[in-house]
Structure 1
């Protein structure tokens, strides 16, 4: 079993490497639950993968948004019962948002110097830095969940407006 490890471009405290067998993953999948940034992992480590940020970012972002809707629904149900969502759900939601954010700017996700990476994006919600960092820190709280949901909605509107 090949133990999964994030490449340096994807290392961040909010994304601990999952205990999974990477040999079981489809190299063409754009979303793998519990393992955000699969395509970036292939790109940065092996220069492989389908590079959805280059080929058809609009279609890829729409697919991710559908996944995000299901994840946010599950998170909201847990929070309404006054229970914290499971960490893998929070990680998936944050990963999907970051993928949508970067891919809609036709770039792979890069978490190295995240603040600088965010500054280089053209299509992004207002005050993305402080809002995203709040979500990364408090993603399992109701206010963190709401903020993440709003960020995704704003990004989707910006994508539609720019015609990405």
Structure 2
């Protein structure tokens, strides 16, 4: 038996048929695992110890953006080859990365209750609910990929703005 893998039930906070097709998920336990979406939330909602990226935003932000570059390059290749069927899986990964970026940059663990976001977030792109609903309803379309890319750019800008405001509000030492 491989001790690096654990199986957990999907907690109510993450129940969303788009991301989880069953009530249980098997995941690899590593120090920093961003290859699987929502790993840290799964641990958190089960009361288990683990990294809390929403509390370590600078590091988490860099990991998310690096992972997005990999997924974005895969998607560009898939769409260039008009391979919409295989693009769906990569889009699911990219959408998950965006949702993590969205919640983590608002100092919160992800909540996947529908519609996403189910709670008001201070830092979020304009018309987020409608745009995200479109992307998730048609993830294999190139237009959905373009919209997801724009959402990530917009959220990245909001995160940077938040970081600058946070640093400016610190008292000088």
Q: TM-score range by the shorter chain?
A: 0.7 to 0.9
Residue number in structure 2 paired with 1:69? 69
Query: What is the TM-score with the length of structure 1 in the denominator?
Result: 0.85
Cα 1:138/1:123, change in 2 over 3 Å: same
Shift of 1:139: 1.7
Q: What is residue 101 of structure 1 aligned with on the other side?
A: 102
Which consecutive aligned stretches of 4+ in structure 1 deviate over 6 angstroms post-superposition? none
Are the equivalent residues in 1 in contact too, given 2:41–2:110 (CA < 8 A)?
Answer: yes
| 1:13 and 2:14 matched | no
Question: For 1:156 and 1:44, how far apart are their aligned partners in 2?
Answer: 26
Q: Distance in 2 between matches of 1:120 and 1:143?
A: 26
| Map 1:119-138 → 2, pairs under 5 A | 119-138=119-138
| 1:6 shift after superposition | 2.2
Compare the two structures and name the one with the higher strand fraction: 2
Are the aligned partners of 1:124 and 1:155 in contact in 2 as well (CA < 8 Å)? yes
Find 2:34's aligned residue among 24, 31, 36.
Answer: 31
State the alpha-carbon separation in 2 of the partners of residues 38 and 106 from structure 1: 16
Number of equivalent positions = 158
Shift of 1:151: 0.1
> Greater helix percent: which structure?
1
Indicate if the aligned counterparts of 1:68 and 1:96 stay in contact, CA closer than 8 A. yes
Equivalent pair of 1:103/1:109 in contact (CA under 8 Å): yes
Name 2:171's counterpart in structure 1. none
The residue that corresponds to 1:44 in the other structure is 45
* TM-score for the superposition, normalised by structure 2: 0.81
Per the TM alignment, residue 4 of structure 1 is displaced from its structure 2 partner at its CA by 4.9
2-side partners of 1:71 and 1:20: how far apart? Answer: 22
- Paired position in structure 2 for 1:82: 82
Report the CA distance shift for 1:115/1:100 in structure 2 as closer, same or farther (over 3 A): closer
Q: State the superposition RMSD in angstroms.
A: 2.2
| Aligned position for 2:150 | 150
Q: Is the 8 A contact 1:135 1:147 kept in 2?
A: yes
Larger radius of gyration: 2
d(CA) in 2 for partners of 1:77, 1:91: 16
User: Separation in 2 of the partners of 1:116 and 1:36?
Assistant: 16
